[in-house]
Amino acid sequence: MIQAIGLTSPPRKELPPAVDDVSFEAHPGHVTALLGMPGAGRTTVLRLMLELQKGRGITYFRGRPLHRVAHPDREVGVLLGEVPGHPARTVRGHLRMLCAAAGLPARRADEVLEVVGLVSLREARLSTLSRGMDRRLGLACALLTDPHTLVLDEPVHGLSVREARWLHGILRAHATQGGTVLFTTGDPKEAARIADRVLTLEQGRLVADQDVADFSRTRLRPRVAVRTPHAARLGAVLTKEARTARRSVEIVREGGNRLSVYGSTCAEVGETAFRHGILVHQLADEIGDMGPPATPATAAAAATPAPSRPAEGEPGEDGAGDFAEKPQGPQEPQKPQEPADDDEAAPRGRRQPRAAEAGALPPLPPSITVRPASNPLRPVLYELRRATGVATGYVTAAVVIVVSAVMAVVLARTGHTPQPRLLAAWPRELPLPPAAVGAGLLGAIAFGDEFRYPALAVDRGPVPRRLGLLAAKLLVSAAAGLLLALLTVGCDLEVLYLLHGPELTSVPGDWLPLGASWLGLVVGCAWAGVLAAGVFRSTSAGLAAVVAVPLLVVPLMRKALEGPTVRQAVGFPMRLRELLLTQWPFGGERYVEAAAQAIAQPEGGALLLSLTALLGAYLLTTARGRVR
């Protein structure tokens, strides 16, 4: 059950808020439509409910606000209309990534793909999907975790009649099994066709809360649709007989050979046409819209002759101006149902559908009866699938390796480059070596998917601010940075050996502190990119933070540490051992001294300072987001 109380968006400059004090309820076992014209505030209401936008008010999902739900993705399935993921990712890879984030086995992706009819397109890229297939994938993402509640923003926008009917059947099947469904629409006919209850928004305010029968009676009215080659003659005859009988009958010429007769019945119209020998091709009861006047585009669509009423279960033709037929079969408004007592045992509190309903409605994915236990490696698996599911990381690594090898060759030809900088392909004119810049870029794009595609926000908010997820991103980005650093140095050594022989490939004697400094620089750049992107919610800001360290922070550190900074680190392990009165095992003083010398360098100190500041800012924003 959804209970929205006092939802109000922030005030706009010289304009009233987009949503003003909206309160309503959506009951389990029912399909609820949020109806409104463009600009009425439908999408804003959903974003306020899901805490994706700041504002006043609160929404309870089965008695708890979303930020108090332990696993929001298991409670609410969301489709907000955006492209559900990275365009270069495959359909199956995208769902498997979400399975890892939700702690579900990978086979769950195949189960949902079979239900939404995307098995044949599971290896297709998201950028190649049509509008209808894109909406099917979005619905698959919403159904993946077997949620109790579905919240969808204009789910049938841009779909054909056949696809819209299929999606309506999925929503009805979910409600029939005890789930709660809330969707937005701008079409009153669609709301009357599929919903059990209709909430009407106008200029950000809730103006009506009606069951579908009252809505159809007050907002819609019945009519008789007639198609005849003698439309003008039949219209004149009907008008004449209505005046003679002093009955209120309105006849609207829809264009071509179609008439809409209000205030009469099929029997009366048919008898009149029979008495006057007028041929009739179509005669059907329909429901017409009494809403705002149609735009030119919809008026042109309404002028298109409408097909006769199709048989139950058969798809009709795509006519945007066609009027909704009266709900039949499983689309009839149902009586409110009490929530199941064992909601925790069964995720949607499902009831067994009647045999007729089960045969008429599309199948749903199987229920998840046993939830897997919390696994600390779950965020790591999600991050691995996210990072390896697209070619961005591979392309970045290949470019970095090629650029580094070319720069090493150029530096070797020009000469006067120290051996450590030659192996790292790091000229003095550049603030960072190519490997560090590449690691920073890989770290900066770690949060890119969550920012650009809110469907990936498997937890509360536009970005899942969880420390487990942050630790996973730091771990994966560090591993990627280390691998990139080793590959870069290895390729530089190979190229230099092939072109210049062994004289330029000798390993420096102090390779341990140099190697520690080199790896620390690369990992620090990767972490700076991750943390800056998480704080500023921008990939560009993450990369800018990486470049700002050597350009801005390092000069300041040089001024602060003027003097023999490296010599200050010499003997540090011995002094530390004397203070702690302990003996270093396995010659550990060498490693501690290498780490101290790396930190004593201006670059190491600047990176450490920057990482500390970014981590503090990230933790602060996380704590502020959790305080409500």
Report the CATH number at residue 150. Answer: 3.40.50.300
Query: Of all helices (H) and strands (E), which one includes residue 418?
Result: none
Please give the Cα distance from 323 to 204 (Å, whole number).
27
Domain boundary among the residues 217, 244, 264 is at: 217
Is 336 inside any structural domain?
no
Please give the Cα distance from 607 to 443 (Å, whole number).
14
Domain match, 258 and 115 both: no
Is 372 inside any structural domain?
no
Domain boundary among the residues 217, 243, 263 is at: 217
Domain match, 284 and 180 both: no
Domain boundary among the residues 190, 217, 244 is at: 217
User: Could you tell me the CA-to-CA distances from 411 to 32, 185, 397, 445, 564 in Å, in that order?
Assistant: 68, 63, 21, 30, 28
Q: pLDDT under 50 in the chain at which residues?
A: 290-359, 455, 458-464, 564-567, 580, 627-628
Domain match, 51 and 151 both: yes
Is 43 inside any structural domain?
yes
Instruction: State the CB neighbour count (10 A cutoff) for residue 605.
Output: 20
Identify whether the C-beta of residue 556 lies closer than 8 Å to the C-beta of residue 613. Answer: no
Q: Is the dihedral of CA 587, 589, 590, 591 positive or negative?
A: positive
Domain match, 241 and 173 both: no
pLDDT recorded at residue 521: 83
Helices H / strands E in the chain, number of each:
25, 14
Instruction: State the CB neighbour count (10 A cutoff) for residue 284.
Output: 16
Domain match, 230 and 83 both: no
Report which DSSP code applies to 18. S
pLDDT recorded at residue 98: 87
pTM of the model: 0.72
Residues in the chain: 628
248: Cβ–Cβ under 8 A, 6 or more apart, which residues?
242, 263
Is 365 inside any structural domain?
no
Domain match, 57 and 181 both: yes
Domain carrying residue 243: 220-307+318-324
pLDDT recorded at residue 372: 67
Please give the Cα distance from 218 to 216 (Å, whole number).
6
Is 404 inside any structural domain?
yes
Nearest to 532 by CA among 446, 452, 434: 446
User: Could you tell me the CA-to-CA distances from 545 to 4, 285, 534, 540, 553 in Å, in that order?
Assistant: 40, 66, 12, 9, 10
174: Cβ–Cβ under 8 A, 6 or more apart, which residues?
143, 150, 181, 348, 364
Is 484 inside any structural domain?
yes
pLDDT recorded at residue 345: 36
User: Could you tell me the CA-to-CA distances from 403 to 81, 428, 437, 507 in Å, in that order?
Assistant: 40, 16, 11, 22
pLDDT recorded at residue 549: 77
Three-state secondary-structure class, residue 101: helix
Strand partners, 12: 15
For the domain that residue 232 is a member of, what is the CATH number? 3.30.70
Please give the Cα distance from 85 to 94 (Å, whole number).
7
Domain match, 394 and 278 both: no
Report which DSSP code applies to 258. E
Per-residue pLDDT reduced to its tens digit, 203-223: 999 999 999 988 887 778 788
Domain match, 385 and 269 both: no
Domain match, 621 and 524 both: yes
* Greatest Cα pair distance in the chain: 116
Domain match, 208 and 260 both: no
Is 449 inside any structural domain?
yes
pLDDT recorded at residue 328: 35
Do the strands 31-35 and 22-26 form a parallel or antiparallel pair, or are they unpaired?
Answer: unpaired
Instruction: State the CB neighbour count (10 A cutoff) for residue 482.
Output: 16
Domains: count for the chain:
3
Domain match, 176 and 224 both: no
Is 343 inside any structural domain?
no
544: Cβ–Cβ under 8 A, 6 or more apart, which residues?
532
Please give the Cα distance from 376 to 466 (Å, whole number).
12
Domain match, 125 and 40 both: yes
- In our burial notation (b when 16+ CB lie closer than 10 A, e otherwise), range 364-393 reads bbeebeeeeeeeeebbbbbbbbbbebbeeb
Per-residue pLDDT reduced to its tens digit, 119-146: 999 999 998 998 889 889 989 989 998 9
Q: Is the dihedral of CA 561, 566, 568, 572 positive or negative?
A: positive
Nearest to 489 by CA among 425, 572, 558: 425
